[in-house]
Structure 1
């Protein structure tokens, strides 16, 4: 179809198809009174109601070249529920008998001819786009869950990724993200830690993300587009965490909200920078997940990004657990989990679950990645002298879903079940160790005890290092951890050395006052993102 005009819709109406008939005089109206007008799209020059009044309620639609939303024709067409465009600018002559479609795209009324345009996207892709953006605008339940009932083909996914993020779409997407984020904040545990002052470092880090991400993202995206990065790392576990993708968009917008709360940013400022970062995140998430969803929550609290043959290979290498190996697995997982939380400064950044992946026998598999255990390419000073035997681990955990009444992997890649012991239901497990040189090794149960001991030794070394730090050093270590969120993507794109990774002076100006104060930081962070009077966490852009 070819766009042949644009105007202002008199109200929000569904896509409407009909046949053009020009009405230029009262005699044209009178001649049509006995006609079936249900599929007639009346074209008129001016916006008066009385001209079409004898037939207005029977028309399939109206296109008026004059008028505004306050025109009489716009007002009465709303009352009759007759789709109407006013103030329509046509690209050329439109003849009687032309089949046309009236549509609304990002709030703009669009008039199309049904005649094929050689360069036009297929109808199926266009319909997916319309439905996808409608989903984004839909309000979910109390925890922002809403049904995603689209089937997105590879071609339609490519088309979604390639779409321009217009002002209206950007606004819709930011509000969708805010509605998804707010209930997760209310459902999570408290922001407390005896070792790391969490609210100061979280506030500093997201604010620094807002100050620095647009410039960094532009460098990464120019070297390797977001969608190419995502596709380069989704063919195997242990390469890149879905949580890191999530953080790109959400942490950035959290920083914006904190600055708005502090009176240091107006909500209509830096819109182009926001577009740069949110669009990078959107394309990254769509390409990595591959099903048209952006988050775990969109997909019913799942993320099955790994190819089926990769999961099958992981499961094939698994060990059927007996009582002793099941106990050893639980101890290993708990030990590595505790170490990972410490390594990432009391955050869950280093562990992410994907799945659940269904198995032919009715069981399901969770793939759990521990993505950094030792010296890091992300320049974590506290990791430089750690000596774990592996750079990272992947666990494939196959379980009986009948053991649970509830199962969820949230947007942060954390699995929650009822009853709340996933490992107790695991019947088969695979443990893979990843080395710095890119090679991997299958670790059978006979190796788990040795691995546990190695991780425990490094845990103690790391704990002593953090414990010996002053408060300010711990705050900025944790801030460094979070603000390194783009480093994995920069490394894949080959531009790590082209980016300035230092803290923004605008961020440092907020320390120590107010962001060294736990109570002040808690008030800023909590009020900005949770205890606000908005339906979501993120302010509108205008």
Structure 2
């Protein structure tokens, strides 16, 4: 990859991030310093990501990861693919901003690492998304993560449901989303929506997948272990919907018309993955999932409420960066990686964000369109001289 190609990718990634920031803005929470820990995670990613992807590449290729991740309940999906440029390039932006906004301040070695990461991401994303697209936005705001054989298999597992059954399914799903969200320090990393998959003129399939629930085995994070146990470590809720329009974003969260599609649910399937096998679940498991979610949510909230800001800041940044474990899991390297925040992050950025939530480089994302056109994209391009 040369500088011209890299700059084209940087400009495109910058547009994707700008769009997401314009939709979401800065994040606030009463429990976690979300904006602050995200910024810490960005800088930490700038330190660690190259070494992680280099080690992964010694075992496999981005193309293989992308193609083999097109499946139900995959750890690597549109959001975890977007993690690569989002975290790293935002961290790079912050570092350059702190160096008088001079892209030449990036060392030659770091520049080569950045090009390597951009190349890895491009090859991965174009192998995962249909028609060699690079993102959900590039795919007309659709997240088509499955091949037709998996769609057909799922359709054969859909069960017709009444309105009361649909409400119970959605309530259980919401409870699991909540415990997944708080376990990730109030982030969406365990959740993935994908679709829509056309069934006929009026019906579509939409998936909402939830991963890394605590079932009594190895906890995803040290704090994930609760007295409450999930009956399964993952679950996919699959909805057959009638007369519903769906759009998704890079964070793989869906927006539907109508907003509440409960009345439009005509069928549901519950699925879980065990190794290479995807297994349909009986609706009786809904009560077990709900019981786990309600109890685990209370346990985690009480646990986190006893932590101070520093503990929450470090945990949130750690959880964000541990998202890259999805790639090391693919090649069996996760246990050989030190996932602790780097010494530089701990000494420089943790103290800084103990004092405030706002990063000095963040305003670049909020410049007007005209200003971005005059000054360049939010993410700094490579100097071409």
Measure, in 2, the Cα distance between the counterparts of 1:482 and 1:175. Answer: 24
> Is 1:224–2:64 an aligned residue pair?
no
Which structure 2 residues correspond to residues 120-199 of structure 1 after superposition, within 5 A? 165-188=1-24, 190-199=26-35
Give the deviation of 1:378 after TM superposition. Answer: 8.0
SS across alignment from 1:314: helix
Could you say which residue in structure 2 is the equivalent of 1:277? Answer: 117
Is the 1:399–1:427 contact (alpha carbons within 8 Å) kept by the matching residues of 2? yes
Larger RCO (CA within 8 A; separation ≥ 6): 2
| 507 and 529 in structure 1: CA distance in 2 versus 1, 3 angstrom threshold | farther
Q: Deviations over 1:137-163 (max 9, x none)?
A: xxxxxxxxxxxxxxxxxxxxxxxxxxx
Q: Which sections of structure 1, spanning at least 5 residues, go unmatched?
A: 1-164
**Does 2:272 match 1:433?**
yes
d(CA) in 1 for partners of 2:252, 2:218: 22
Q: How does 1:321-336 map to 2 (within 5 A)?
A: 321-336=161-176
TM-score (norm 1): 0.65
Quick one: distance in 1 between partners of 2:98 and 2:220?
30
Cα distance between partner residues in 2 of 1:429 and 1:491: 30
After TM superposition, give the deviation of residue 438 of structure 1 in Å.
5.8
- Alpha-carbon distance between aligned partners in 1 of 2:217 and 2:118, rounded to the nearest angstrom: 27
Per the TM alignment, residue 263 of structure 1 is displaced from its structure 2 partner at its CA by 2.8
Q: Retained in 1: the 8 A contact 2:103–2:380?
A: yes
The residue that corresponds to 1:527 in the other structure is: 363
CA drift at 1:351: 0.6
How big is each residue's C-alpha offset from its partner over 1:250-288, in whole Å with a ceiling of 9 and x where there is no partner? 211011112222338842312101011111111111111
Q: Distance in 2 between matches of 1:379 and 1:368?
A: 20
Task: Give the TM-score normalised by structure 2.
Answer: 0.90
CA deviation profile, 1:478-513 (whole Å, cap 9, x unmatched): 111101121111111122244332322221222444
Counterpart of 2:323 in 1: which secondary structure? Answer: coil
* DSSP-derived class of the 2:353 partner: coil
Aligned twin of 1:394: 236
Q: Does 1:476 align with 2:318?
A: no
Question: CA offset at residue 189 of structure 1?
Answer: 5.1
In structure 1, which of residues 444, 447, 452 is the aligned counterpart of residue 282 of structure 2? 444
Task: Show the counterpart of 2:354.
Answer: 516
Aligned to 1:4: none
Aligned CA distance change for structure 1 residues 175 and 378 (closer, same or farther; 3 Å): farther
> 489, 504, 513: which is aligned to 2:342?
504
Aligned residues of 1:238 and 1:370 also touching (Cα < 8 A) = no
Match status 1:492 vs 2:330 = yes
- Aligned CA RMSD, in angstroms, stands at 2.2
1:423–1:194 distance in 2 versus 1, CA, 3 Å = same
Which has more helix, going by share of residues? 2
Cα distance in 1 for residues equivalent to 2:283 and 2:71: 26
